[in-house]
């Protein structure tokens, strides 16, 4: 996708994609779902049309994609190391774009993160597909507090749970 954006071809292709829900389901975006065929057409259009629905929006998205660097993303790491609020890291093990190791990197980087909940087979949009599996973990995470000795959870056991 970045290559298409760099060549100035993504915006035009995006208009076609945004207008065809079956193309969306088969695209990289649709692969973010375990079962994209179960997702309402309007939900898919709601994600894609604002970003790729017009040539102008598509060109803006192209500019974003080609300008973003790893250094930009890593620039937030110092801020993450100071995030002491309770933080729940929930990750889909079936996501093709975001490897599970990044969940553990976040847990090790964010002092307020005490565990990783692994969603077996879950992909990027698993919260939409499996809300009943996610909500109990969200509710429970709000009752956890950092360790009193350091003000963070750095010394806490850091288990992985699976859903």
121: left (phi over 0), alpha (psi -120 to 50) or beta: left
Task: Check pLDDT > 70 for residue 79.
Answer: yes
Q: What is the pLDDT of residues 122-156, one digit of tens each?
A: 999 999 999 998 899 888 887 665 543 444 444 44
Q: What is the pLDDT of residue 151?
A: 45
**Mean pLDDT over the full length of the chain:** 88
Contacts 24+ apart (CB under 8 A), 67-74: none
Which residue ranges make up each domain of the chain? 2-68, 77-162
Quote the pTM value: 0.76
């Amino acid at each position: 996708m970045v290559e298409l954006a760099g060549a100035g071809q993504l915006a035009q292709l995006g208009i076609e994609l945004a207008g065809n829900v079956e193309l969306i389901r088969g695209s990289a975006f649709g692969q973010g779902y375990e079962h994209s065929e179960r997702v309402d057409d309007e939900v898919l259009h709601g994600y894609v049309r604002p970003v790729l629905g017009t040539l102008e929006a598509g060109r803006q998205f192209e500019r974003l994609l080609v300008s973003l660097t790893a250094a930009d993303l890593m620039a937030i790491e110092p801020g993450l190391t100071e995030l002491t609020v309770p933080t729940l890291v929930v990750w889909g093990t079936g996501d093709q774009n975001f490897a599970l190791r990044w969940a553990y990197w976040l847990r090790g980087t964010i002092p307020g993160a005490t565990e990783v909940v692994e969603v077996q087979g879950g992909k990027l949009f698993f919260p939409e597909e499996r809300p009943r599996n996610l909500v109990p973990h969200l509710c429970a995470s709000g009752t956890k507090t950092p360790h009193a000795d350091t003000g963070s959870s750095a010394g806490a056991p850091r288990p992985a749970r699976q859903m």
